[in-house]
Amino acid sequence: MDDETRKEGIEAVPGAPPTSGPRIGVDEWVARSGERRGGRGGRLGVLEARLRNVPWWVWLALFVGLAALLPVGFESGYVRRIAFDTVIYILLALGLNVVVGWGGLLDLGYIAFFGVGAYTYAVVSSDKFDLHFPSYASIPLALVVGGIVGLMVGLPSRRLVGDYLAIVTLFFFQIFLTVTNNGENIFGDDLTGGPNGIINIDPLSLFGRDLPISTDGIFNVAYLYVALGFFAVVFVALRLANDSRTGRAWRSLREDPLAAEMMGMPVSWLKLTAFAFGAAVAALSGSLVTALNASVFPQTFEFPLLITIYTMVILGGSGSQAGVVIGAILISVLLEVLREPGDARFLFYFVGILALFGILRISVRLAVVVGSTLALGFAAHAIAGRVDDAWTSGVPNGGGRLAGWVSDWVIVPTNLAGWVTPTSYIMLVTVILGLTLLHGWVRIAFVVPTLYLAAFVWENVMLAKPEPTRFVILGAILVAVMIARPEGLLGEKRVEII
């Protein structure tokens, strides 16, 4: 329908409605409001609209199929192991999405449910208590125990809203950590092995045969298929749950708990089921990981993992299953790449250039920024090298082809003075925050030294310590996404109705 007929439809005389075209106030107009919002024009827009019309199960089948083909392309056990870990991350993110994205409840104890599943599996399939359940018993058991613990944590939380709920779940997390860490002596009984954890856990078994966790020291790819299978089942189950009455009720709870209660929704029950669903999925992933690792330690279930999963959900778009899957893959790959300084360097410059292109487009400003940043770098490098050779003769971390080029441009001293690290890092954070306050050409002018400073900090400070760097980046992503694009990559923009 083109604009002309729509106009007529709206302005038509009451009593003589046009035969075609929806009118304001008619249900169809409301139902179609989503189509009118934010559609992009041109070929790209048509493509986007077509892609949006592809049913979800096609995407799911495509994704699972591609992931299943991954081992064909990559022989290395390392890649396969990363693929397995990514699927576990996706499962965790899908579970958290139920609680945060659909239920709108801030569950900070989520990782504890992951741990509950892991420990349940460990206890019933190891020498600890001489129990050796088959997998078809132990995995469902972990899932059910996770769900029940989720219900139990939710139970006292029924009366709490918002922040208090978050805090109670956070405390539950702390209680879980305290108990597992000190569990080697609970009234004299050894339950969890304490900090030493539980080891020698049975692998998964299928029809009475064990699936070895590795063959000739290489990761057994069967585990990847098992995880993918569980992913497909969980994805479909949650999808159906979300399309059901309960799913709609969850969303109403998220939008306005008070209004939902007034409409007769069983608010407490909805909160509990959201918690239990999320917890069950987390527990399931816990049991899979434990079976593969053959061991479980309390250190696995620390705070950083919680933030990692949250970043996945928020970045992908909380509430959107496809978004959450994409967020999980992105963050999982990002964390893996950041482990290795050579790869991390490549990623840094690649993302930097991509961001410049994305923000400035192909324009004079882009040429000015890139040109002057390069010039500034070579000038600074030349001056520093002239003053003292030690300032520029350092070897960049990690090596690789890019490192040689970078060491001609960025100042990499042989010995970094103690004060340089904190000073340059704090300066970088301050300048980046300050940039958000500036506009126009002033901003462009300040971008140039900021880029060079960023490169300096990246080479000298962050690449030297991959572990904190990964988490600093996660925290920054979380805040930045929350402020710049709270709906994430694929989420739907939420409009506050007052």
Partner 1 sequence: MDTFIQLTLNGFTLGSVYALIALGYSLVYGILKLLNFAHGDVFMVGSFIGYGALQALGGSTNPKVPLWLLLVLVTLAAMVGCALLGVAIERFAYRPLRDAPRIAPLISALGVSFFLAYSVQLMFGAEQRDYDAFALGEGTLFFSGFDIGNVRVPLLRIIIIVSAFVLMVLLWLLVTKTRIGKAMRATSHDREAAQMMGIDIDRVIVFAFVLGSALAGAAGVLFALRAPTAATIGFVAGLKGFTAAVIGGIGSIPGAMVGGLILGFAEAFTQGYISTRWSDLLVFVILILFMLFRPQGLFGKPDIKKV
Residues at the interface with partner 1 (CB under 8 A):
100, 104, 106, 108, 156, 159-160, 162-164, 166-168, 170-171, 174-175, 178-179, 182, 258, 303-304, 307, 310-311, 314, 421-422, 425-426, 429, 433, 436, 461-462, 465, 467-469, 471-472, 474-479, 482-483, 486, 494, 496
Nearer Cβ to partner 1 (39/304)? 304
Nearer Cβ to partner 1 (9/316)? 316
**Least distance from partner 1 to the Cβ atom of residue 278, Å:** 15
**Least distance from partner 1 to the Cβ atom of residue 437, Å:** 9
φ and ψ at residue 418, rounded to 5 degrees: -55, -35
**Least distance from partner 1 to the Cβ atom of residue 420, Å:** 10
Nearer Cβ to partner 1 (68/106)? 106
**Least distance from partner 1 to the Cβ atom of residue 25, Å:** 27
User: Quick one: which of 170, 88, 118, 114 has its CA closest to 335?
Assistant: 88
**Least distance from partner 1 to the Cβ atom of residue 392, Å:** 23
**Least distance from partner 1 to the Cβ atom of residue 245, Å:** 24
Q: Beta 198-199 vs 125-126: how paired, if at all?
A: unpaired
Nearer Cβ to partner 1 (113/133)? 113
User: What residues does 295 pair with on adjacent strands?
Assistant: 199
Q: Which two tokens stand for residue 143?
A: 């899932």
User: Quick one: which of 177, 169, 176, 174 has its CA closest to 100?
Assistant: 169
User: Quick one: which of 350, 445, 458, 367 has its CA closest to 409?
Assistant: 458
Q: Which two tokens stand for residue 136?
A: 């078809």
Q: Which two tokens stand for residue 3?
A: 């604009």
* Strand locations in 150-302 (E): 198-199, 205-206, 209-210, 214-215, 218-219, 295-296
**How many whole angstroms from its chain centre is CA 89?**
8
CA distance 449 to 194: 50
317 contacts: CB under 8 Å, gap ≥ 6: 323, 324, 327, 487, 488, 489, 490, 491, 492
Nearer Cβ to partner 1 (68/160)? 160
Nearer Cβ to partner 1 (451/462)? 462
**Least distance from partner 1 to the Cβ atom of residue 250, Å:** 14
CA distance 240 to 347: 38
Q: Helix or strand or coil: residue 125?
A: strand
Nearer Cβ to partner 1 (382/482)? 482
**Least distance from partner 1 to the Cβ atom of residue 370, Å:** 27
Residue 462 DSSP one-character state: I
Nearer Cβ to partner 1 (221/260)? 260
Alpha helices in 1-55 (DSSP H): 3-11, 27-31, 33-36, 42-53
